[in-house]
Amino acid sequence: MKTLIPWRRNELGMFRPFRQEVEDLFERFFTEPFEETYKPMVWTPRVDIEETPKEIFVKVDLPGVEAKEVDISIVEGCLVLQGEKKEEHEEKKKGLHRYERFVGKFYRELPLPPGADPEKIVATSAKGVITIVIPKKPEVQPKKITVKAEV
């Protein structure tokens, strides 16, 4: 008997590749050791950028990363943040089934706007947040002009 629905001719038809992907996923998840499957990788930390007439503030979320592990530099007009979040060594306790803390290298590159003064950049760290203050050069800061009233 012929059918008007083309994918019914072959039981799985167009779903065969999808089914194979799902089967492969479950096989990898349940057969490979966890440590080999989830190796450290490169990640990008989140940033907040705020601009005022005189400065640019960049806040970088790096929980669990010590300030000495962060390298901040200026490369070809970009603010470059890089480093590594190291694995914490904890004692294996009875009942621990999974270890999901993220470890690995991080990298973030932010272009500096024209007028930023790379010579006077200051960075501070507190509670897993690095704050970078980038002052603007005096010539690009807004200049207030007073209006004189004539009598």
Q: What are phi and psi of 18, to 5 degrees?
A: -65, -45
CA 109 – CA 24 distance, rounded (Å): 36
Model confidence over 125-143: pLDDT tens digits? 998 899 999 999 888 778 8
Answer for the pair 54, 43: CB distance below 8 angstroms, yes or no: no
Say if pTM beats, i.e. exceeds, 0.85: no
Answer for the pair 47, 108: CB distance below 8 angstroms, yes or no: yes
Domain layout of the chain by residue ranges = 6-35, 40-87+101-140
Model confidence over 69-116: pLDDT tens digits? 899 999 988 999 999 887 665 566 666 666 666 678 889 999 998 889
Q: For the structural domain made of 40-87+101-140, what CATH number should be given? A: 2.60.40.790
